[in-house]
Amino acid sequence: MTPVALTIAGSDPSGGAGIQADLKTFHRLEAYGESVITLITVQNTLTVDRVEVLDADLVQQQLDAVLRDIPPGAAKTGALGNAAIVRTIADAAASFKFPLVVDPVLFSSKGFPLLDAEGRTALIELLLPRAFLLMPNLSEASDLAGISVTDIHSMRRAAEILSTRGPKNVLVKGGHLQGEAVDVLFCNGQFHEFAASRIKTTHTHGTGCTYSAAVTAELAKGTPLPDAVARAKTFITRAIQWAPGLGSGTGPLNHF
Ligand code: PXL
Mean pLDDT in order along the chain per 10 residues (256 residues): 97 97 98 98 95 98 98 98 98 98 92 94 98 97 97 97 97 92 96 94 94 98 98 96 94 94
Residue 43 lies in a domain: yes
Q: Quick check: is 77 in a domain? A: yes
Q: What predicted TM-score, i.e. pTM, was given to this entire model?
A: 0.97
Give, for ligand 1, the residue of 38, 77, 105, 173 to mutate: max count of ligand atoms closer than 8 Å to Cβ: 105
Q: Work out which ligand 1 atom sits closest to the CA atom of 11.
A: 12
255 in a structural domain:
no
Domains held by the chain: number: 1
Is there a domain that residue 254 lies in? no
* 81 given a catalytic annotation: no
Angstrom distance (rounded) from CA 76 to CA 131: 9
As a whole number of angstroms, the distance between CA 5 and CA 26 comes to: 7
- Active-site residue flag, 88: no
Is the Cα torsion angle 162, 176, 79, 65 positive or negative in sign? negative
Inside any domain, residue 246: no
In this structure, the residues whose C-beta lies within 6 A of any atom of ligand 1 are 9-10, 12, 17-18, 41, 43, 78-79, 105, 108-109, 114, 208-209
pLDDT at 17: 96
**189 Cα–ligand 1 center, Å:** 31
252 burial via Cβ count (<10 Å: 0-12, 13-18, 19+) = buried
| Cα within 13 Å of Cα(127), Cβ side | 31
Domain of residue 209: give its range. Answer: 4-241
| pLDDT on residue 37 | 98
- pLDDT at res. 40: 98
Residue (of 202, 201, 209) closest to 173 by Cα position: 209
Query: Could you give the CA distance from residue 169 to residue 220 in angstroms, rounded to a whole number?
Result: 16
Q: Is residue 251 part of a domain?
A: no
| Whole-number pLDDT of residue 106 | 94
Q: Can you give the pLDDT at residue 110?
A: 81
Given 173, 174, 223, 237, the catalytic residue:
173
**Cβ pair 100, 137 in contact under 8 A:** no
The reply to whether 139 falls in a domain is: yes
Any catalytic annotation for residue 189?
no
Q: Is 208 a catalytic residue?
A: yes
Which one of 7, 25, 88, 204 is the catalytic residue?
204
How far apart CA 220 and CA 149 sit, in angstroms, is: 30
Neighbours of 188 (CB within 10 A): 9
**Residue 248 located in a structural domain:** no
pLDDT at 80: 98
CA of residue 64 to ligand 1 center, whole Å: 24
106 φ/ψ angles, rounded to the nearest 5 degrees: -105, -35
Q: How far is the CA of 249 from the centre of ligand 1 (A)?
A: 15
CATH number of the domain that residue 214 is part of: 3.40.1190.20
* 171 C-alpha to ligand 1 centroid (Å): 19
Q: Is 207 a catalytic residue?
A: yes
